[in-house]
Amino acid sequence: MSDPFQRAGPLILIADDDETERFLQRQVLEPAGFEIVEAKNGAAALESFNEHRPDLVILDVMMPEMSGFEVCQAIRTLPGGRNTPVLMATALDDVDSIERAYRVGATDFIDKPINWPVLPHRVRYLLRAHETLRNLVVSQGRLAEAQRIAGVGNFRWLPQSKLVECSAELCRMFGLGDRARSVPVLALLRRVPGPDRKAVIHALRQALEGEKIDLDHRVVTAGGEIRTLYLRAETTADGDEPPYLQGSCQDITERKRNELELAAARDEARTADAAKTAFLAAMSHELRTPLNAIIGFSEMIAGQAFGPIGQGRYVDYARNTGEAGRQMLDFVVDVLTIAQLEAGRFTLELERVDVPEAIEATLDEFRQSEAGQGRDITLSVSGAPSPIDADRRAVEQMLLKLLSNAAKFSKAGTPIRVTVTGGDGFMRISVADQGSGITPETAAMAIHPFRQVDGRLARKHGGTGLGLSIVNGLIERHGGRLTIDSALGQGTCVSLDLPAAPAEAERPRIAAVAD
């Protein structure tokens, strides 16, 4: 077999029993850039076709032993011969001969005697048309394969027609076979369940008025399988041609199934989370009542409210009981707070707060606590801090928790620095210690509930891991932000950025008018 890539030009097989005819065709075609191979009869033509795989065959109809009709029919059965252009050269001018030539697979025919100046152009046209058709077939095949892989089919419908031109993939989606064909509109609509069918028909009517179709609908295949398709279409017009509707359908059955499963899982998680939050809130309320009694009675006993106690150890026991009760109550309050924050039910009681004044009061309270006793705690204010609109109780709670963390994770002799900085539209409160410090990864984890820097049972520091998560929840409720600046061995600085209150001129006022 000759190599097509080694040819200087297209290879033409001339099959004719007339040697003169073959010579004349060669003399005309070779100067036009074509390579020629000859065959003097039908059998030689088939043998030459198998050997050379020509790009085009010029075939004489009237040959001995095998006619051109028989040779053409045989070529169509050979490897590579199904689509090779065959030009029948004949002196027969009756319609039956022409029809027979097309029936056996001829591409075109040319009359004898041949118009020699026209022959090269006729051959070149057939080759160009064959190449265009081959490229079109390849493109259609690739498109069909891409549609099959992507689960996308396309269609084209002239509203005046009852048939819709459907791609192979679209036919497969509707359970109508696996090849492209024209399908009646009603046959497609019958595959769409009743409720979805109304929506599809309405969308089609709207599309004919110029609107685009963009909707999901179900189809029921012949086997009873329900699939979900994503339909997109619009009306198009080519020049003066009547407008037609063209569009695509994508099989999104698996995506829809995943969306439903994810939605169900999300709803289940939300239900479970709501149940957890409700349980924590209820338990916190239930625990506070007996804890308040335990704390109150232990304080009465430790204070010997009804007379002296003979054994001094009982007083110590009462103090220990009261301290344990207060720790437990703090934990219950934290659980209740985090439950309210996560459920979005924590209500802020906003008021105008002078930040330095509120911080001073909080520092005095912390210095009197066990964690703050003997600690060097300083406050510095820079700039001219503006008041803020905030929940004073929440601000004090946030600051106490940051001070508690700073004292917990730093040595007793190291200082704790509290700074207040006023800026353009915000207020920053920072608490810095000289403790062990943490990594950025640990800092990101620490703001989540029940997460601790050291989660081991034998950890050095106690606590529930709710402190920073409560602070983060409270600052976000105020429209602010929590940032942690820390490094191992270099201490930690936790900052709270709160929006400053609007200027007095921006606040609504009620004017008093004198009589």
Rg of the chain over CA atoms, in angstroms?
45
Q: In which element (H, E) is residue 56 found?
A: strand 56-60
pLDDT for residue 464: 61
pLDDT for residue 338: 80
Token representation of residue 433: 């210690």
**Class of residue 75 by CB neighbours under 10 A (exposed 0-12, middle 13-18, buried 19+):** buried
Phi/psi zone of residue 103: left (φ > 0), alpha (ψ -120 to 50 degrees), beta?
Answer: alpha
Chain position carrying tokens 């075939």: 59
Query: Do 436 and 489 form a contact (C-beta atoms < 8 A)?
Result: yes
Residue 413: other Cβ atoms inside 10 A: 9
pLDDT per residue rounded down to tens, the chain (515 residues): 555 556 778 999 999 999 999 999 999 999 999 999 999 999 999 999 999 999 999 999 888 889 999 999 999 999 989 999 999 988 776 778 888 888 999 999 888 888 999 999 999 999 999 998 888 877 777 766 776 776 788 898 988 888 999 988 888 888 888 888 899 999 899 999 988 999 999 998 898 888 999 999 999 988 888 899 999 999 888 777 788 898 889 888 888 889 889 899 998 888 887 787 777 667 766 777 788 888 887 888 877 877 787 777 878 888 888 888 877 887 777 877 887 787 777 888 999 988 889 999 999 988 888 888 888 899 998 877 788 899 999 999 999 999 988 888 888 888 999 999 887 778 889 999 998 888 888 888 888 776 655 543 334 445 566 888 889 999 999 999 999 998 888 899 999 998 887 765 444 443 333 33
Cα–Cα distance, 457 to 369 (Å, whole number)? 26
3-state secondary structure at position 25: helix
Query: Do 169 and 153 form a contact (C-beta atoms < 8 A)?
Result: yes
Cα–Cα distance, 14 to 198 (Å, whole number)? 62
3-state helix, strand, coil in the chain (%, to 5): 45, 20, 35
Cα–Cα distance, 481 to 500 (Å, whole number)? 13
Q: Which residues contact 270 (CB under 8 A, 6 or more apart)?
A: none
Q: pLDDT tens for residues 361-394?
A: 999 988 888 888 888 899 998 877 788 899 999 9
